[in-house]
Amino acid sequence: MSHQDKSPQTMSPAVILLDDDAEVLEALAETFELAGFTVRPCTGWPEARAHIAREMAGVVLTDVRMPGRDGFDALGDIHAVDPEIPVVLISGHADVPMAVRAMQQGAYDFVEKPADPAYLVELIRRASEHRALVLAHRQLREVVQTRAIDGRIIGTAPAIVRLREMTLALAQVDATVLIFGQTGTGKELVARSLHDFGTRARGPFVAINCGALPPTILESELFGHEAGAFTGAKERRIGKIEQAHLGTLFLDEIESMSMEAQMRLLRVLQERSLERLGGQREIKVDVRVVAATKVDLVAQAAKGLFREDLVYRLNVVPLTTPPLRERGTRDIELLFRHYFDEAAAKLGPRAAPCPALDALARHGWPGNVRELRNAAERAALGFPILPGAPEPVETAPGRSLAALVASHERREIEMALARGRQLQQVAADLGISRKTLYLKMREHGLSAAGDAELQNG
Ligand SMILES: Nc1ncnc2c1ncn2[C@@H]1O[C@H](COP(=O)(O)OP(=O)(O)OP(=O)(O)O)[C@@H](O)[C@H]1O
Ligand SMILES: [Mg+2]
């Protein structure tokens, strides 16, 4: 696409004229040329088709009755490319049913022949302005989204730049996506971005970790069940797939899914409907599926450990999140600074100064961005960046075990608090009760934003 095509506002508006009558076509062409339009006269749909493109900065004026594909066919074909291209139908055999049909099928307007040229020009000018606004709005949205995703999926390594571009592009379509990558490389982040930057953003994002649940429980979690489907199924349960209706279903660690569940999932993907366990009724579901895996599913399928047909269904568009050490020093430092600054901003004056970053690139980062993020958050609290490095203050030799343990405990609690969530959650993370957390915080002289909540609760 040329640069010019991308700035519709600065071009003279284009109109594609379609009429099988050469005389009529010529007269129309002259009218629009005089009015300052770029005119593309066509005597048949195949010729006109060549001008239609998604980012086309123009509108279409087409006759209805034509040999071969008629005006209504053209309307359908154009809207299959871009439903926001204005199409005006014009006919010498106009009647009310035809006009109604035109409007129902999404025509911009419907005009009877012969039409007053001045009226036609005004109408097409309005349609062109409408089209220019649609394109300008799309461009603006693209810019805004590009900026937003830059701040979310951070990095400058070519693999990450490409990942961001692919994610934005794929967010706009419903294709099933399989994300492959090691632990902590951002698979869930990409899945969320596919949802948040796409057309389903207002719908639900439902995530399920297939590796975290025993097979039978996973099945009823995914597909739901009717009351009495199995012992213990007292009430009907709506499964995650149904919950994700009109939104996105994220299947994490899909490699752990049982063969039985795989078969059921395949059916959902093929038929876009499901039956709850123990149910008879087909329930239509409209979900976009994103799956993530740490293993090579194609190789798993070759070994008979995963259904091959499901791999092909899921693998429509594969995305790979690269391991951190392959992304280079620049990305490692960039991500560290990002998460350090974020943690430091939360801590305020209690934050430690940013340490020297030269040791970062020497570490292998087996836990990838998650590990780096934790290291950055710990560094903001004054911990050494890398585990195993000598601790700066409290672990000085000669301190009693009790003092070391206490100081370590204080730091762990401080870090958990610094993540800025509710105290209930902090306590759960640390595996202690809220009351114990409160006592420990008092013992260590720690406070949190949620203090009031704790004391009231
Ligand atoms: N490119 C990135 N830019 C910014 N943050 C990132 C990036 N990649 C990952 N992260 C952050 O790293 C952490 C781990 O990411 P995420 O949970 O998406 O990884 P994952 O691949 O799903 O890991 P696992 O396989 O262990 O579930 C999250 O806090 C996420 O926000
Ligand atoms: Mg994950």
Q: Which of 164-168, 278-282, 421-425 comes out lowest in average pLDDT?
A: 421-425
Q: Is the CB of 186 under 6 A from ligand 1?
A: yes
pLDDT average, residue stretch 43-58: 92
pLDDT at 450 over 80: no
Q: Which atom of ligand 1 is nearest to the CA of 294?
A: 25
339 CA to centre of ligand 1 in angstroms: 12
Task: Give the E-state strand segments of 64-210 in sequence order.
Answer: 87-91, 109-112, 177-181, 205-209
Q: Please list the helix, strand and coil fractions of the chain in percent, rounded to the nearest 5, in that order.
A: 50, 15, 35
N-term to C-term CA, the chain: 62
Q: Which atom of ligand 1 is nearest to the CA of 372?
A: 12
Query: Which residues make beta-bridge pairs with 277?
Result: 225
Q: Which atom of ligand 1 is nearest to the CA of 209?
A: 27
Query: Which residues make beta-bridge pairs with 318?
Result: 178
- The per-residue pLDDT for 385 is 82
Q: 198-229 pLDDT, tens per residue?
A: 989 999 999 999 999 998 899 999 999 998 88
Q: What is the mean pLDDT of the chain?
A: 89
pLDDT at 122 over 90: yes
Task: Say how far apart CA 238 and CA 233 lie, in whole Å.
Answer: 12
Question: pLDDT tier at 407 (50, 70, 90 boundaries)?
Answer: confident
- The per-residue pLDDT for 317 is 86
pLDDT at 390 over 80: no
Q: 127-165 pLDDT, tens per residue?
A: 999 999 999 999 888 888 888 999 999 999 999 999 999
Q: Is the CB of 183 under 6 A from ligand 1?
A: yes
- The per-residue pLDDT for 389 is 52
pLDDT at 123 over 80: yes
21 CA to centre of ligand 2 in angstroms: 61
186 CA to centre of ligand 2 in angstroms: 7
- The per-residue pLDDT for 401 is 76
- The per-residue pLDDT for 99 is 94
Quote the pTM value.
0.66
Q: Which atom of ligand 1 is nearest to the CA of 155?
A: 1
- The per-residue pLDDT for 398 is 55
142 CA to centre of ligand 2 in angstroms: 27
pLDDT average, residue stretch 263-279: 93
Taking CA atoms only, the protein residue closest to ligand 1 atom 10 is 186
- The answer to whether the beta carbons of residues 390 and 396 sit under 8 Å apart is no
Question: pLDDT tier at 411 (50, 70, 90 boundaries)?
Answer: confident
**105 contact partners, CB below 8 Å, separation of at least 6:** 72, 75, 76
Taking CA atoms only, the protein residue closest to ligand 1 atom 23 is 184
pLDDT at 457 over 80: no
pLDDT at 285 over 80: yes
Q: Is the CB of 331 under 6 A from ligand 1?
A: no
pLDDT average, residue stretch 363-392: 82
**Tokens 């461009």 -> residue:** 139
Tokens of 452: 């009031």
pLDDT average, residue stretch 99-108: 96
213 CA to centre of ligand 2 in angstroms: 15
Q: Is the CB of 154 under 6 A from ligand 1?
A: yes
- The per-residue pLDDT for 199 is 87
- The per-residue pLDDT for 230 is 83
Q: Is the CB of 322 under 6 A from ligand 1?
A: no
Q: 158-204 pLDDT, tens per residue?
A: 999 999 999 999 998 999 999 999 999 999 999 999 999 998 999 99
Taking CA atoms only, the protein residue closest to ligand 1 atom 24 is 183
pLDDT average, residue stretch 376-392: 75
- The answer to whether the beta carbons of residues 327 and 161 sit under 8 Å apart is no
pLDDT at 387 over 90: no
Q: 310-353 pLDDT, tens per residue?
A: 999 998 889 999 999 999 999 999 999 999 999 999 888 888 88
Taking CA atoms only, the protein residue closest to ligand 1 atom 29 is 370
Write out the residues surrounding ion ligand 2, Cβ under 5 A.
188
Tell me the best of 189, 190, 192 to mutate to test the pocket of ligand 1, counting ligand atoms within 8 Å of each CB and taking the most.
Answer: 189
In the chain, what's the furthest Cα-to-Cα distance? 102
- The per-residue pLDDT for 231 is 82
Question: pLDDT tier at 3 (50, 70, 90 boundaries)?
Answer: very low
Q: Which amino acid type is present at position 130?
A: H
Q: Which atom of ligand 1 is nearest to the CA of 179?
A: 21
Mapped onto helix, strand or coil, the DSSP state of residue 420 is coil
Cα dist from 259 to 112, 184, 256, 263, 307, whole Å: 61, 26, 9, 6, 7
Question: pLDDT tier at 391 (50, 70, 90 boundaries)?
Answer: very low
Taking CA atoms only, the protein residue closest to ligand 1 atom 25 is 183
Q: Is the CB of 155 under 6 A from ligand 1?
A: yes
- The per-residue pLDDT for 41 is 97
**Tokens 């000669």 -> residue:** 398
123 versus 363: which is more confidently predicted?
Answer: 123
Q: Which atom of ligand 1 is nearest to the CA of 189?
A: 18
